[in-house]
Structures are given as structure tokens and as C-alpha cells.
């Protein structure tokens, strides 16, 4: 099992509704990508580090499932057209679930 995590911050100068629209589209991903398991997303509620404002976590059965998702045309298009124009910074981590390494 591979856990894929992304923490991010939207640009401060976005027009109203843009961030919400991108978040709503992200939440449709599990229906579009059947290999996704245990999708969770939301606002960062940490009081210790507020560098990133949002995040999501998702699991894939195999590293190949993750790679297939990352390299799919629909994911690449979303990143190019919807994500990069609105996200100021991000941190991405993918790691094997304990016992799978």
C-alpha cells in the first residue's frame, strides 16, 4: 500500500470562489480514479504550522497504481490547467504503508 499526501497553500490573490471550485473538483477524484482508496481532504487545522492551508491523503494498493494516476492525461491536464495557476506552494510525499516497505 502507498500513502500519497499533499499539503498546499492557495495564492492569496485568487478571485472569490476559485479555491472552493478547485477543492470541489479534487473531491471528485476518487470517482474518476478507481485505484484511489481512503481519500481524505480538508483545511489544515494545525496551530503548530500554518505554512500550508489545505491537504489531502489518499492510498493506492501499489506504487504502479499511484504512477498510473500521476501520469494519466486527466491528472496532468488538471495540474496544468487548474492546479498550477492557483497554488502558491505545495509539499508532496508518497510512502509505503508500514510493513510494505
Q: What is the pLDDT of residues 42-91, one digit of tens each?
A: 999 999 999 999 999 999 999 999 999 999 999 999 999 999 999 999 99
pLDDT in the model for residue 82 = 96
6 φ, ψ (degrees, to nearest 5): -140, 125
- The predicted model gives 10-34 an average pLDDT of 96
pLDDT value at 14 more than 90: yes
Burial of 28 (0-12, 13-18, 19+ CB in 10 A): exposed
User: Cell for 23?
Assistant: 477543492
pLDDT in the model for residue 70 = 97
pTM of the model: 0.89
pLDDT in the model for residue 89 = 97
Amino acid at each position: 500500500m502507498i500513502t500519497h499526501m499533499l499539503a498546499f497553500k492557495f495564492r492569496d490573490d485568487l478571485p472569490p470562489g476559485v479555491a472552493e471550485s478547485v477543492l470541489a473538483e479534487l473531491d471528485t477524484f476518487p470517482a474518476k480514479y478507481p485505484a484511489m482508496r481512503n481519500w481524505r481532504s480538508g483545511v489544515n487545522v494545525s496551530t503548530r504550522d500554518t505554512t500550508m492551508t489545505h491537504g489531502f491523503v489518499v492510498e493506492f494498493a501499489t506504487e504502479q497504481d499511484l504512477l498510473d494516476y500521476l501520469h494519466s492525461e486527466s491528472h496532468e491536464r488538471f495540474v496544468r490547467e487548474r492546479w498550477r495557476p492557483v497554488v502558491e506552494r505545495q509539499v508532496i510525499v508518497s510512502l509505503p504503508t508500514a510493513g510494505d516497505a
